[in-house]
C-alpha cells in the first residue's frame, strides 16, 4: 500500500453504487455512501483487512428489478489494496409471491475463519419492520471459501422474532452468533427483548445455545445458478413444496410434498430468469431465490 499514515480518500464502486473510505494509518473507515435508484449498497455489517493487502466487506444491498418491487439482500466482496473489486457475491432470498423476504445484516455479521481460506457471513432472514415484530425470523449463516463459493447455508430460528448482531468465527472452525430475540408467541402482550447466542461447529450443527428445544434449523442450497437442464434443491426439510415463477408472476411449475434433496427438470422452460419458491408449512418456512435458466 502507499501513503500509509496519511489520510486520503478511496472509493469502492459496485454497479451504480459507491462507498467512500478514509484511510488513516493502516485503517480504512467508511465515511459516505452514494447510490442511484438501481442499486444500493450500504456498508454497515463487516470490514476485514488481510495480510496480503486485500480487504473483505459485507454490506446490505438493495436491487430494484425491472418488473418492480425491491430485493433486500446482502453482498460480500473482496477488494484489492485500491478497493477495486476482485470478486463479489449477492446472498439471501428474493422477492416471492408473498412479498420481499428481507435479508438484514447486523453490525458485524461477517468473520474470517482462523488459519483457513474460508469465512462466515450472515444476516437476519425475513426481517420485518418494526424491529419488534410479531412474525418469525431466522438467523441465516453462510460458509464461503475465498473465491466466494458457498460451502453450506443454514438457518436457525423460526419460533420467534430474531435479529442477528454479530458472527465470530471460532478457533476450531465453527461460528458463534449473538443477537436479540422477541418471543411474541410466549409473551404476546409484552415487548421485552432478550439476547440469544448460538454456537455451531464447522458443519453448521449446533454445539451450544441458550435457546429452548423449539428452535428450528433448516439447511437449504439451490443450484447450480445459472442452470440448464436440471436444478438441485439440497435441503434437510422433510416435507416442502416448490413453485417456479417467471418474473411476471406466472406459475411455470408446482410440486408438492417433496422430501430432502430433490432435482427439478428445467429443460422445458424458456431461457431467462425465474424464481424458485420453497415453502414448508410444518416448519413455517418460506424462501425464494432468483435463478438464471440458460
3-state secondary structure the chain: CCCCCCCEEEEEEECCEEEEEEEECCEEEEEEEECCCCEEEEEEEEEEECCCCCEEEEEEEEECCCCCCCEEEEEEEEECCCCCEEEEEEECCCEECCEECCEECCCECEEECCCCCEEEEEEEECCCCCCCCCCCCEEEEEEEECCCCEEEEEEEECCCEEEEEEEEECCCCCEEEEEEEECCCCCCCCCCCEEEEEEECCCCCEEEECCCCCCEEEEEEEECCCECCEEEEEECCCCEEEEEEECCCCEEEEEEEECCCEEEECCCCCCEEEEEEEEECCCCEEEEEEEEEC
> Are 129 and 227 part of one and the same domain?
no
Domain boundary among 193, 214, 235: 214
**191/171 Cα distance (integer angstroms):** 36
Identify the pLDDT of residue 243: 92
> Are 91 and 174 part of one and the same domain?
yes
Identify the pLDDT of residue 100: 46
> Are 124 and 87 part of one and the same domain?
yes
> Are 179 and 291 part of one and the same domain?
no
Any domain includes 49: yes
Give the chain's domain count: 2
Any domain includes 3: no
Identify the pLDDT of residue 78: 86
> Are 153 and 275 part of one and the same domain?
no
pLDDT one-digit tens code per residue, 210-245: 655 567 889 999 988 889 899 999 999 989 999 998
Identify the pLDDT of residue 91: 84
Identify the pLDDT of residue 289: 82
> Are 247 and 274 part of one and the same domain?
yes
Identify the pLDDT of residue 250: 86
Identify the pLDDT of residue 177: 92
Domain boundary among 214, 233, 257: 214
Any domain includes 87: yes
Identify the pLDDT of residue 17: 55
Identify the pLDDT of residue 1: 29
Identify the pLDDT of residue 71: 67
Identify the pLDDT of residue 82: 75
The answer to whether 64 and 254 are in contact (CB under 8 A) is: no
Any domain includes 1: no
> Are 110 and 241 part of one and the same domain?
no
> Are 185 and 287 part of one and the same domain?
no
* Residues of the domain holding 210: 8-214
HSE value, Cβ hemisphere, 13 Å, CA-based, for 251: 7
If the chain, 294 residues long, is cut into consecutive pieces of 10 residues, what is the mean pLDDT of each piece? Answer: 36 56 51 47 61 78 63 79 80 57 69 88 72 73 92 88 89 92 72 84 84 75 89 93 86 91 91 88 83 88
Identify the pLDDT of residue 7: 36
Identify the pLDDT of residue 210: 65
Identify the pLDDT of residue 234: 92
Amino acid at each position: 500500500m502507499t501513503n500509509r499514515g496519511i489520510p486520503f480518500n478511496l472509493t469502492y464502486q459496485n454497479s451504480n453504487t459507491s462507498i467512500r473510505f478514509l484511510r488513516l494509518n493502516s485503517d480504512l473507515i467508511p465515511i459516505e455512501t452514494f447510490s442511484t435508484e438501481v442499486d444500493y449498497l450500504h456498508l454497515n455489517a463487516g470490514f476485514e483487512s488481510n495480510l496480503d493487502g486485500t480487504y473483505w466487506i459485507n454490506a446490505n444491498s438493495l436491487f430494484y428489478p425491472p418488473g418492480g418491487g425491491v430485493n433486500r439482500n446482502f453482498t460480500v466482496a473482496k477488494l484489492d489494496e485500491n478497493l477495486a473489486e476482485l470478486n463479489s457475491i449477492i446472498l439471501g432470498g428474493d422477492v416471492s409471491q408473498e412479498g420481499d423476504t428481507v435479508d438484514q445484516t447486523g453490525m458485524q455479521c461477517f468473520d474470517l475463519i482462523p488459519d483457513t481460506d474460508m469465512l462466515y457471513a450472515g444476516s437476519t432472514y425475513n426481517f420485518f419492520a418494526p424491529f419488534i415484530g410479531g412474525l418469525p425470523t431466522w438467523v441465516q449463516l453462510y460458509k464461503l471459501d475465498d473465491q466466494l463459493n458457498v460451502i453450506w447455508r443454514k438457518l436457525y430460528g423460526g419460533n420467534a422474532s430474531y435479529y442477528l448482531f454479530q458472527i465470530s468465527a471460532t478457533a476450531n472452525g465453527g461460528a458463534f452468533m449473538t443477537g436479540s430475540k422477541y418471543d411474541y408467541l410466549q409473551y404476546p402482550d409484552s415487548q421485552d427483548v432478550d439476547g440469544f447466542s448460538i454456537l455451531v461447529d464447522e458443519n453448521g450443527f449446533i454445539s451450544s445455545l441458550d435457546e429452548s428445544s423449539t428452535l428450528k434449523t433448516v439447511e437449504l442450497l439451490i443450484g447450480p445458478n445459472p442452470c440448464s437442464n436440471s436444478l438441485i434443491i439440497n435441503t434437510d426439510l422433510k416435507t416442502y413444496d416448490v413453485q417456479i415463477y417467471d418474473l411476471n408472476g406466472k406459475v411455470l411449475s408446482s410440486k408438492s410434498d417433496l422430501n430432502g434433496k430433490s432435482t427439478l427438470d428445467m429443460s422445458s422452460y424458456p431461457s431467462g430468469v425465474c424464481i424458485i419458491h420453497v415453502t414448508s408449512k410444518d416448519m413455517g418456512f418460506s424462501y425464494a431465490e432468483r435463478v438464471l435458466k440458460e
